[in-house]
Structure 1
Amino acid sequence: MPFDVEKARADFPILSREIKGKPLIYLDSGASAQKPNAVIDAMSAAMRHSYANVHRGLHTLANETTDAYEAGRETVARFIGAQTNEIVFTKSATEAINLVAYSWGEHLQAGDEILTTEMEHHANIVPWYMLAQRKGVKLTYVPIRDDGSLDMAAFNQLLTPKVKLVAVTHMSNVLGTINPISDIVAKAHSVGAKVMVDGCQGVVHLPVNVKALDVDFYAFSAHKLYGPTGLGILYAKADILENMPPWQGGGEMIAHVSKEKITWNEPPHRFEAGTPAILEVIGLKAAIDWLAQFDRGEIAAHEHALYQRAHDRLSRINSLRIHGEAPGKGAILTFSLGQAHAHDVAQILDRYNVAVRAGTHCAEPLMTRLGVTSTVRASIALYNTDAEIDVLAEAVAKAQSFFA
């Protein structure tokens, strides 16, 4: 159906909350999005009506819950254009990337290289740093341009046959930059490198088809996609998963255990040791099903219009610097306000019930590149409105006068 922001907002009970008699304005969805009733109700119904542990159970509740859990896997696979056996559930996107580093990364040798970028979230840096320390692999950073776009000329120079993995974000959680993933993948594959994409922001704001992109690995989290916390998703090509060893031992990931020998389950279960996030998968399915009622293109247009409104209003404020203005960027607006610390700015905005994120945003190498110690980030979601953006602009203007 056509996207209607008021209809969408009505599905989020928290958005009707008032604090000290004024509406809540939530512009922190890049950290974690709010949850629609569909998600809340689905998880509650599963606990009230049909909950048991999944797989191997023979009773009715176990079968019902297993069916619901695996239906969640099927829904995720359809959502990103994957096969069901290519979807691994983890506790977070961070864990999904670590899984790749510790399992697939074991075949790397000293002298091999990993390319990442200056704009990455720590989750797409630290696991590769740890792998480099463990295996003697070289970790190299592709620089960004002043507008926040990736320096593709530098990428082309750094991409040599020694590179075995390119780890890159689909959409920067700080700058909103949307990287040319198809181009990066084609170039990486031409020298025999695999590509790991951090899709935590990308999958929320962009239609994603992993087969069309031809990525080898794609990770994202449920809680940024209007679903619950405690659940990450790793997509990996079936043939790659088949040749990856398990990275955690326990129940479910095994085929057979004896005193003398243990054999592994088939992917994706090989990588899901122990009781999984059952209710969270059910909640994520509900979130994706809820999102499917809207036209993704219309949502993107709505979010872009809000970003442009915010950009236009905030850019008029003296001493305010917007970070990241790459062409075609997503609906994330990050800024500095003179010499004021980002935490102080965020606290003033909170007086007007405007919730934003302040700090390094788990991207310290990027902060160094930008020449700042911290920034304020307003991340826009489908449920935000023109009126909320106007309150943001007014609150930032008042903060600016406070620090003048």
Structure 2
Amino acid sequence: MIVETVSNQLVWSSEQGFWVLTPKTKQTVPLTIAASRGYTDCARHLIQQGAELDARVGGRAALHEACTQAQSDCVRLLLTFGTKANVLSEEGMSPLHLCTAPESLQCAKLLVEEGAIVNLAARDSEVTPLHVAAASGLEQHVALYLGRGANVSLCNSKGETALNAAACAAAHGPGGSRRHQAVVRRLLEAGADARAAGRKCHTPLHNACANGSSDLAELLLRHGACAGVPNGAGHTPMDCALQAVRETPNLEPEILFTVLLDYGARPVHPEMLKLCANFPRALEVLLNAYPFIPSCTTWVGSVLPELWQEHKAFYSSALSMVNQPRRLQHLARLAVRAQLGRRCREATHHLPLPPLLRDYLLLCVESQIQ
């Protein structure tokens, strides 16, 4: 179907699954403009001249826009003159939902002091202010809401808690986002369930592994996350970590792989080794999780020629050990690790072992297979 519009004031937009024509020009009022730009004197004058405080012309009230732009002085002014701290936008969002920047902390404090509900769920998404702050990596906002009784167990429309939101939004890269790790730590200390999964059975650990965040993954595992649980598609956290290797080549996947194996993850299917074949350190960690080196036909062909030459000693050592018995020392290592299970990393540091032997037990990289 071809629709030709006569007016250039209309644009196509997607609303609730339907493509509709909506006005291009956004409607607003002077008070909303003044509040969003921090013009406190102008806003005061407009209010004194009778401007309606909670008018939602264009979908949002002045308080919404002031919070969006982190204009704390205007937020204070509006609240002083009696605007409602829980006024909802046409989208069903409260002003607290729109405190999404670090600079908006003072706005959030003013709102909760005036009775803003920290557990208020948005109409459609059902996210709470805690969900929003967690996804934005705002540790101080999270601490504020938790101190005001925010419920860490509340779920959004996708069945996800604030912990899921924080882990999902964590930045890519080794160690992940420090801000999101701090948020996750706060939530876990407040009693958030590290195993809580959304409707697709995707846990915070799945999200951390999909982002390649080893530090965040270890934090979740220390608080009870399960390294072997599959999501709705049947993928384990290790599967997500392997996929992240291909999508984010600048990671150090061997660190994440070691963390998962130390907390009870099972060795990957040999067919999956091809996903990390061009990361010799990561490949070594995974190969050392087997009692013998499996057939290499699945991953050898995936190694780039220049990489093979650069790490020829390692790849050659792996090839020479295919279907050959491993050293008794390696088999003893696997036996100890199996006995310790998901306590391997923590328990190993309490064993009276020399540092070299402790590192060996924890699958340290040696750049060769023996």
Question: For this structure pair, what is the TM-score category when the shorter chain's length is used for normalisation?
Answer: under 0.3
Q: Where is the strand percentage greater, Structure 1 or Structure 2?
A: 1
CA radius of gyration, larger in: 2
Query: Which structure's relative contact order is higher, taking Cα pairs within 8 Å and 6+ residues apart?
Result: 1
Q: Where is the helix percentage greater, Structure 1 or Structure 2?
A: 2
